[in-house]
Amino acid sequence: EEKAAELALTSRYKSEFLANMSHELRTPLNSILILGQQLAENPDTNLSPRQVEFAKTIHAAGTDLLHLISDILDLSKIESGTVTVDSEEISFAHLRENLERSFRHDAERRNLEFSVDVAPELGRSLSTDPKRLQQILKNLLSNALKFTEDGSVRLKARPATSGWTPGHVILDKAPMVVAFEVSDTGIGISPEKQRIVFEAFQQADAGTSRKYGGTGLGLAISREIAGLLGGELKLTSAVGEGSTFILYLPLNYVGADSAHEARAQAAMPMPTALPQTSSQPFEQVPDDRTSILPGDPSLLVIEDDPRYATILRDLARSSGFKVLVAHRGAEGLRLVREYRPTAITLDVFLPDMLGWTVLARLKQDSDTRHIPVQIVTVEEERHQSIERGAFSYLAKPADTESIEAALERIKQYALPRVKRLLIVEDDPAERMSIEELIRHDDISIDTVGSGAEALDALQNSNYDCVVLDLRLPDMTGFELLDKLQDQPQLRDVPVVVFTGKDLSAAEDARLKKAAKSVVIKGVESPERLLDETALFLHRVIGDLPPAKRQMVQRLHESDDALKEKRVLVVDDDVRNIFALSSVLERHGMDVVTAGNGQEAVDKVAADRDIALVLMDIMMPGMDGYDTMRAIREDPDSRALPIVALTAKAMKGDREKCLEAGASDYLAKPVVTDQLLGVLRQWLHR
Ligand code: ADP
C-alpha cells in the first residue's frame, strides 16, 4: 500500500511537471509561430522570396516542434494513467466520412488507391472514445500513405473472432470484437524491426525515416491507447510487399477498470456485470438516435439534468418528434453535425460551456445557422436570446402546458414553409433595392410605406422579421418601435433597422435604448442587412443564390466584426503581447494591454469601450482565474466576453476557466485563424 501511494504521488508529480514544462515550452513557441506566419504572409510586401521562404521554414519547424511536444505529453499522460476514456457512441458512417475527408485528398495527390470499408455485420455504431480511436486510425493511415510509393492503402472494419493475443482479458470475453485493418502495398517492415517500431522514438531505419520524416512516437502512442480502450494493436509485414496493422477493439467499450487490468495483462476473470465507465458522470438518457429516419422531424435536447431531459424527451415524443439528448455542449454540437436535427432546445447552464457559446457556434456556422433554437433560461435573458438569433426562449422551470405549446410552435416553424418579411419604407427606390437584395423563393415580402400601415399589418398577421427605415411620413421609426414595445405579442418580432446613412449621436443613443426592449439591429451595409435578416428568418444559407451566399460568407470572414473594436490583451510575457497585438492590429483592432491581473481589472473598470478580453491563465501572482473572477464581480462586466488562453495540458482546465467566468477558451499556442474565428464569433453580434 505504501509503495502504491508513493507511486501515485510520483506519477502525479510527473504529470504536473510535464504539464508545466509543456506550458513553458509552448509560451515561446507561441511567438515563433505567430510571428513566423505573419512574416511569411509578407503583408507589407517588403521581403524577398528567399526571406519569405525562411519565414515559412521557421513556421514549419515551430509546428513540428509543437507536434513533438504534444506527442511527448500525450504519451507520458497515458503512461502515468492520468488519461480518462470518454466513451460515447460513434457511428461507422460518421467515422468513415471523417477518415475519407482527412485522407482522400492526400491519396489522390500521391496517386494511391484509397478505400474505407465497413462490414455491414458490424451494425450501425460502436461505443468507444471517438477522439482516441481516430487518433490511432489517423496515425496508421498517415504512416501507410507515407511509406507507400504506389499501389493502395485500405482500411477495412470487420467483426473478428481471433487474431489478438490469446488470453487477452477483455477481447476474449467481449461479445463482439471489431478489427480495423489498415493495409498498404508500401516498403514493409523487416521481422526484426517489427517489435521495435512500437517503442518510443524508434524508427525501422533511421536512414529511411529521415527521408520520410516523423518523430517515431506515433506507434508507441497508438499501442498505449489501444490498451487503454481495451484492445490491442497487431502488425504483419513483409519487406517490399507492404504492411498490415490491425487494431482489435471490443465493439462496446467496457470501462476504465477493466482496461487497466488488460494493460497489466493480469489473467483475472472478467466480472460478469460491466463496470460503469468512470468518465461518464451523467446518466445518459436513452433517446431515438438509432431509429431516426431521413425526413423525421427531430429535436435535439441539450440539457445536463437527466430528469429534465427525460421530461422534455417524453413531451417532444408525444408532439411527434424523434428526440436526441446531449448532456454537454460539445456533445450537442457533435450531434448537430451528425444528425442535422429539425430544431434544438438548449439549456444555458451546461457543465462544459455556456449555452450562449453553443448558440454562438451554431449561428456562426452557415450549415447550422437556420436550425431554430429554443433557449431555456430565465426571463431576464429573453431579450438577449432573441437578439443572438435564438428562435424563442422558455423560462425555467416551465410547466407542461408551456413546454408543449413551445414545442408545437417550434415544430410548426420548422415545417417547410415560406417565411414572411415586412419592409417598412416609403421611398420607392430604396424599397425596390431592399426587396431585390433579400428576395428569393424562401421568403414572401410585404411592403408598407407608413408607420400606421406597418402597425396594422403587424397586428393582423404574423411576420417573422421586419426591416424598418427610421424616416417615415407619419411617425418616426422610433415612435413605431415604442408602439411595438407596448404590445407583448409584438415585442419579440425581430426588427432590423436599415439606415443607409450614418446616424447622429442622438439617434444612435436612442436606437441603443430602444434595442434594450425591442429586438432590433441597426445596420448600415447591404451585406449586414442580408445577413441579419437571414439570421432572424432562419434562412438556409446553402440554399441562397450563389451571389448572395458569397455575400454572407464574405461578411463572416471579413474583418468587419473586428474593426475598431477595443481588445484588452492580458499576459505577463511581453513577447506574447507583442505577437498577439501585431496580429490583432493588422486586422484593424484597437489593442490595449495589461501585464498582470490587477492592471487588467483596473483597466476593465476604467474603460467601458473594451469589447473583449484575451486572458492568459498562467501569470505570476494573481493568475488568470483570479483575474476573471475579480472582473466578473463588477455587475457591469458580467457580459463582457473574456477569452482564456492556456496550455491544454492539465485535465479540467477548460472547466476551470468557464467556472472562473471565461466566455470561451483557446489552447496555446494560438493558431491565428482560430483566434480570429473566436473573436469574430464574440464580436459579430
Ligand atoms: P513516425 O512515423 O513518426 O516515424 P511511428 O511510431 O508512427 O513514427 O512509426 C515508427 C516507424 O515504423 C516508422 O518510422 C517506420 O519506420 C515504421 N512504419 C510505421 N508504419 C509503417 C508502414 N505502414 N510501412 C512501413 N513502415 C512503417
Task: State how far the Cα of 218 lies from the Cα of 415, in Å rounded to an integer.
Answer: 48
Which span out of 30-34, 299-303, 634-638, 659-663 was modeled with the highest average pLDDT? 299-303
279 Cβ closer than 6 Å to some ligand 1 atom: no
Cell of 465: 422579421
- Ligand 1 midpoint to CA 213 (Å): 10
What does pTM read for this prediction?
A: 0.52
Q: Supply the DSSP symbol for 427.
A: -
Cell of 235: 502488425
pLDDT exceeding 70 applies to what percent of the chain?
89
Cell of 105: 485528398
What's the confidence (pLDDT) of residue 269?
Answer: 31
What's the confidence (pLDDT) of residue 268?
Answer: 31
What confidence tier does 659 reach under pLDDT thresholds 50, 70, 90? confident
Supply the angle between the helices 400-414 and 306-318 in degrees, to the nearest 10.
60
533 Cβ closer than 6 Å to some ligand 1 atom: no
218 Cβ closer than 6 Å to some ligand 1 atom: yes
Cell of 610: 473594451
393-425 pLDDT, tens digit each: 887 667 788 888 888 888 888 887 889 999 998
490-517 pLDDT, tens digit each: 877 888 888 766 667 777 777 777 765 5
Residue 537 pLDDT greater than 60, yes or no: yes
The tally of CA atoms less than 13 A away on the side-chain side of residue 470 is: 19
Q: Which of 140-144, 325-329, 662-666 has the lowest mean pLDDT?
A: 662-666
Q: Is 460 exposed, middle or buried, given 0-12, 13-18 or 19+ CB atoms closer than 10 A? A: exposed
Residue nearest to atom 17 of ligand 1 (CA): 204
What's the confidence (pLDDT) of residue 149?
Answer: 93
Q: Does 679 or 82 have the greater pLDDT score? A: 679
- Span between the terminal Cα atoms of the chain, in Å: 57
127 Cβ closer than 6 Å to some ligand 1 atom: no
Prior bond of 669 cis (ω within 30°): yes
Q: Which of 134-143, 446-455, 543-552 has the lowest mean pLDDT?
A: 543-552
Mean pLDDT score, 60-80: 80
Contact 520, 511 (CB under 8 A): yes
Residue 22 pLDDT greater than 60, yes or no: yes
What confidence tier does 386 reach under pLDDT thresholds 50, 70, 90? confident
What's the confidence (pLDDT) of residue 472?
Answer: 84
Q: Which atom of ligand 1 is nearest to the CA of 144?
A: 23
Q: Supply the DSSP symbol for 91.
A: E
What's the confidence (pLDDT) of residue 283?
Answer: 67
Q: Which of 126, 176, 159 is nearest to 290 (CA)?
A: 126
Residue 530 pLDDT greater than 50, yes or no: yes
Q: Does 241 or 683 have the greater pLDDT score? A: 241
- Ligand 1 midpoint to CA 216 (Å): 7
216 Cβ closer than 6 Å to some ligand 1 atom: yes
Mutate which of 65, 147, 148 for ligand 1? The one with the most ligand atoms within 8 Å of its CB, which is: 147
**Mean pLDDT computed over every residue of the chain:** 84
Q: Which of 260, 235, 139 is nearest to 179 (CA)?
A: 235
222 Cβ closer than 6 Å to some ligand 1 atom: no
What's the confidence (pLDDT) of residue 500?
Answer: 60
